[in-house]
Amino acid sequence: MTSSILNFEKKIGIKFKDKTLIKFALTHKSADKKNNNEKLEFLGDRVIGLILSKKLLELYPNETEGVLDKKFANLVNRITCCKVGWAIGLQNYIIIGNKTKKINQIDEKIISDACEAVIGAVFVEKGFLITEIFVLKIWKNEIINSKITILDSKTKLQEYSLKKYKKLPIYHLVSSTGPKHKPSYKISVKIIGSKEYFGLGNSKQQAEQDAASKILSAKNIN
């Protein structure tokens, strides 16, 4: 484990005095129900939010709060956190209960949570300034892409439904299967006058996005 931690430290360019801290950040609850990354994930989520919201205000001083909110949501959602985590090689260092399992990019929640936990650990160990530099470095490409505000499928459907019917889309959890570390969700969505459309995903958010994408496509909503 020490060798793995040293390799990860080298990978991200940050050396921890407290090796236990970074070990917790890399430990999924399936491997240790008590000493895992849940609390550091909680902290890291808030730290990332503070750093990226501050950066957006600096980059886009003339944008409205609504536009900033959409840019922010795209930067901090699970899909983006997973993408960032994957880019720094987190999948090779996360400790899970099933030691024979290889973590893949579809394990979105595991990678995203670990990414937030690592940020939390960096903050505890190094303080805000170093954490800010680190976050802005690994989120660099995502921040550059934030120049273009792309609405996700769920937001597009919500705006369409509110504008046309003054009602929100209705989502319903159809099923939840699979082990806790790799769940599979099926979720339906409908708007006024439509049939139900179904989406699948390894998280509820992912399944909702998939369902929203299908109804948008079926109704040719751009």
45 labelled catalytic = yes
Q: Give me the residues paired with residue 189 across strands.
A: 171, 197
Of 41, 107, 116, 208, which residue is the catalytic one?
Answer: 116
CA distance 30 to 99: 10
CA 83 vs CA 79, 139, 179, 184, 186: distances in Å? 6, 10, 23, 19, 23
Pick the catalytic residue: 41, 45, 152, 208?
45
Residues recognised as catalytic: 45, 116
